[in-house]
Structure 1
Amino acid sequence: MSSEAERMSPPAPRLGARAAGGAFVTMAGQGVRVAVQFGGIILLARLLTPHDYGLMAMVTAIVGAAEILRDFGLSSAAIQAKEVSRQQRDNLFWINTGIGLVLALAVFAGANALAAFYHEPALVQISQALAVTFLLSGMTTQFRAHLSRGLRFGQLALSDVGAQVAGLVAAVAAALAGLGFWALVLQQVVQAGVQLLLTVACARWLPRGYDRAAPMRQFLGFGWNLMLAQLLGYASRNVGQVIIGARTGAEALGLYNRAFQLLMMPLNQINAPATTVALPVLSQLQDERERFTAFLVRGQTVMVHLIVATFAFACAQALPLMVLVLGEQWRPAVPLFQWLTAGGVFQTTAYAAYWVFLAKGLMGAQLRYSVVTRVLLIACIFAGSWWGVEGVAAGYSFGLLVMWPLSLYWVGRVSDIPVWTVFANGLRAVVGYGLCAVASWAASWWLGGALWRQLAVGTGTMLAAFALVFVAWPAFRRDVLSILQTRHLIAEARSRR
């Protein structure tokens, strides 16, 4: 490759230090994003109705697949590649932008068909307004990949938080003005536009024309396989919402969608930035087995403890949390949320396998794995749908439980990662925090009475149970302490670089 390509690759020295700094900045940024997003959920849930959310979900459950087509796996392809020339980066921008434009036109033209499918005329205008976000996101894709590849996590966090705040402000203003579901539409459009402006400003790079001489096959091959796998994943996550919307209407779908989004919020806010940090680092360590394994295992330990602890507490205290925070109108969503959080736990424990597939470029293996497991998950959802909305949630969670061991078995066949170590990390977190959640739920159930008192007692019991498990279980204690000692691993990596 050219010297220009070498200059564009992330520098090898001080990789450990940059990863440590990137992890800190990214998680700090995610902390702000979680606060903004959670605040937005509270405000908008009290200003809007389940029907408003249901209408929005009807659109996004189907046309959201276009967002995956828009990316085409090329953002991850650009990050994972060992070298990317200026010409290749320019070409990737134009490919993503072209795909985004085509999808925007397709969504706009298909709005009437979507409305006819659900028998909801309002979906025509919603779909047509959202169409522009695909073009905006397509233009943003390679600017974000450029920042991530350069390990410029602070600027990524700035663009993400800034866009989210702008979208929330616009949505709250529209909801207060009585615009109903248009508040949710405006939120998406404003967020996409502001994110494009901020990422362009941070990247300090403008694309030139398309260079036909630049080799693109490696990126397109990687992206094609990843895109197909992501489409299968998207279908398995959203087929339940399509079934609910078509069979029972916007009200029931709004309840399910809020429960599902409350599940996805911590998953997206931790998994996505964790991948943002882990993928470029692991990709550069893919030929160094010991260091690759050390970063993978430690990163997985941090992630599963953060998310499993959060979901365990949320599942145990779902009733007081949802009613006190979102309002009485969302009480019927409580059992849905409890089922879905159980599935979120199993999804998290399997996430390290996804890192391995991407970092090592094993996209063919990942596609085959996705075909098998996502079809299985969709079958579980369809089976559960015979028992209504709650059956959809239960089927989704059961499918994710089955996928956890399958993901590790599959990745173990095509790589040399320590499968049992990765599995044991997840299992200890599930068992440890599961015991804490059972104790928390039992204490609240036994107390009864006012919801705020149930929440207070459940929180105290959860903390007390965690302290007991921490003291009584040496392996669990080592995992928790290893999270606090992550800097030592990074320092070792830096000294060995």
Structure 2
Amino acid sequence: MDNTLVHKTATGAIWATIDRFGNMALQFIVNLVLARLLMPDDFGAIGMLAIFIAVSQVIIDGGFGNALIQKKNPSQTDYSTIFYWNIGLSTVMYSLLYAFSPYIAIYFKMPILSDVLRAIGLILITTSIISIQTVRLRKQLAFKTIAITNLGSYITASGLAIYLAYIGWGVWSLVLLQITSGIMSIILYWLQTRWHPSLTFSTKTICSLFSFGGYLFAAGILQEVCKNLQGIIIGKKFSATQMGYYSQAYKLDIVCSYSIPQVIVQVMFPVYSSIQDDKQKLIAILSMNIRIISFLIFPLMGLLILIAEPLINALYGEIWLPCVPYFQILCIGGLFACLQNINFYAVAAVGRSRNLFLWSFYKWGFLLAALLIGINWGIYGLLWGMVLSSLNIYLINAYLAFRFVGISIIHQIINILINIALTFIAFTLAWTINSYFNLHFIIISMIFTLSYLVLAYGFKNKGLFESINLAKRLIK
């Protein structure tokens, strides 16, 4: 990678990290406050509707966002066309959600869900209005503007949500959190970016971009349906309370297992696309990313499994302790989930979206089968089915990266197994010490972390030294 690209990538990584972790910290704090003001049923209601919003957003994007990023020199006509397309499609999708919301409420046997879905569905329109602004900024690696805008909008919305929860608005405080955040994002993005759509629309643009983005679009729909399918099953098969416990455990797991990988994916996809013709350079960068992510995320997942009960009690209170085993099982799946998108976007960057789409049928078919089989053993069986599916998806994406990028699957697995082994040793040591002395979870965390770092240094783990070098580069 040349010096200019290194500088832009490093700067982008800094601001993408600020954006991701700043928002993550804010969401985490706000969620802690709201969890003590609201009931599990309130979170469960939002969790039941997540699939409808997620799938609608994928349909609206249509894969065009990533297609514009992957395209080397998109024109003003390209941007304007997709802008108007997104606005029109978001209006259609919101109308459909509005019309079918009573039937969705009947399915879950919760009448309030009809009004909740009609309100929260407005974020489809707010997201579409800023879609091209965010695409252009990502393509330019202008993550500073994205970070400032996202943080500003969420700070404003969270203040309102906490106040509404405090005065007893219940689930509506969660609804207005998302709507207000969307409205503020529109205001801030349009104030900070100078791009405006032209009065032009090209069907040729739609067709050409869909040739790439269309497969990502279809794969994205399958991914969102299957990723949120467990919410529909839990909400229907069990109760809103159990859905609330699952939702809280899932959100905490996502924060921990996806935050660092998402920062890297967000920054590296434009970089992957810019060097898609240089396979050796692409393989080198992809390999380094896998080593860094597994080095950082694997011990984090192990530590969270170890201290899950005292951690959740300290953060959310005793009322949320039933979600502890849910969280621990999800963390096991997080070991593999954290690496899925790294391989996925490397394959997408070299223009193999069609192959990603075709293989997605197998990946998500496996998940559906795992969920349907696992549900026979209750909610825990369903969660273990998710873990097996997470491993399966990683292996498929690793195979596709080997086939189309050229990175060795064996090489990936060796790097991963090294970090799993170090995590297991540190986990066993910390667990043994705690079983004898029953220490505070902060002390146990320190013992675990120190043990892991000493082991990594002793075994000359590449991930350790690459993480240090990356941190130094970002600081400079």
Shorter-chain TM band: over 0.9
Note the 1:126-205 alignment, pairs <5 A.
Answer: 126-205=116-195
Q: Quote the offset at 1:488 in angstroms.
A: 8.9
The answer as to 2:406 corresponding to 1:420 is no
Question: CA offsets, 1:415-469, max 9 Å, x none?
Answer: 3234333333333223322332333334334434xxxx43033212202321331
Give the counterpart letter for 1:310 in structure 2. Answer: L
Q: Give the alignment partner of residue 308 of structure 1, picking from 295, 298, 301.
A: 298
Question: CA offsets, 1:352-395, max 9 Å, x none?
Answer: 21121221121111012211111102211221111212222111
Contact 1:278 1:299 in 2 (8 A): no
Partner of 1:238: 228
Contact 2:457 2:464 in 1 (8 A): no
Q: 2:432, 2:42 → 1: CA distance?
A: 35
The answer as to 2:83 corresponding to 1:101 is no
Contact 1:343 1:398 in 2 (8 A): yes
RMSD: 2.0
Q: Give the alignment partner of residue 466 of structure 1, picking from 425, 435, 452.
A: 452
The answer as to 2:5 corresponding to 1:15 is yes
Q: 2:200, 2:3 → 1: CA distance?
A: 32
Q: Mean alpha-carbon deviation: is it higher for 358-367 or for 386-395?
A: 386-395
Cα pair distance change 1:488/1:218, threshold 3 Å: farther
Q: 1:183, 1:215 → 2: CA distance?
A: 40
Q: 1:188, 1:106 → 2: CA distance?
A: 20
SS in 1 for 2:130: helix
- The runs of 5 or more residues in structure 2 that have no matched partner are none
Give the counterpart letter for 2:452 in structure 1. Answer: F
SS in 2 for 1:178: coil
Contact 2:370 2:388 in 1 (8 A): yes
Q: 1:415, 1:470 → 2: CA distance?
A: 29
Cα pair distance change 1:447/1:187, threshold 3 Å: same
Partner of 1:484: 468
Give the counterpart letter for 2:226 in structure 1. Answer: S
Partner of 1:433: 423
Give the counterpart letter for 2:466 in structure 1. Answer: S
Aligned residue-pair number:
473
Give the counterpart letter for 2:57 in structure 1. Answer: E
Partner of 1:68: 58
Contact 2:81 2:205 in 1 (8 A): no
Q: Quote the offset at 1:406 in angstroms.
A: 2.6
Give the counterpart letter for 2:20 in structure 1. Answer: Q
Question: CA offsets, 1:198-235, max 9 Å, x none?
Answer: 22222211111233375332311222211111122212
The answer as to 2:244 corresponding to 1:254 is yes
The answer as to 2:26 corresponding to 1:36 is yes
Q: Give the alignment partner of residue 394 of structure 2, picking from 404, 412, 429.
A: 404
Question: CA offsets, 1:151-208, max 9 Å, x none?
Answer: 1110111122222222221211110111011111011101111122222222211111
- The runs of 5 or more residues in structure 1 that have no matched partner are 1-11, 491-497
Q: 1:132, 1:460 → 2: CA distance?
A: 44
Partner of 1:9: none
Q: State the TM-score, normalizing by the size of structure 1.
A: 0.90
Cα pair distance change 1:222/1:445, threshold 3 Å: farther
Partner of 1:317: 307
Q: Mean alpha-carbon deviation: is it higher for 323-332 or for 287-296?
A: 287-296
Q: 1:351, 1:107 → 2: CA distance?
A: 29
SS in 2 for 1:287: coil
Give the counterpart letter for 2:389 in structure 1. Answer: G
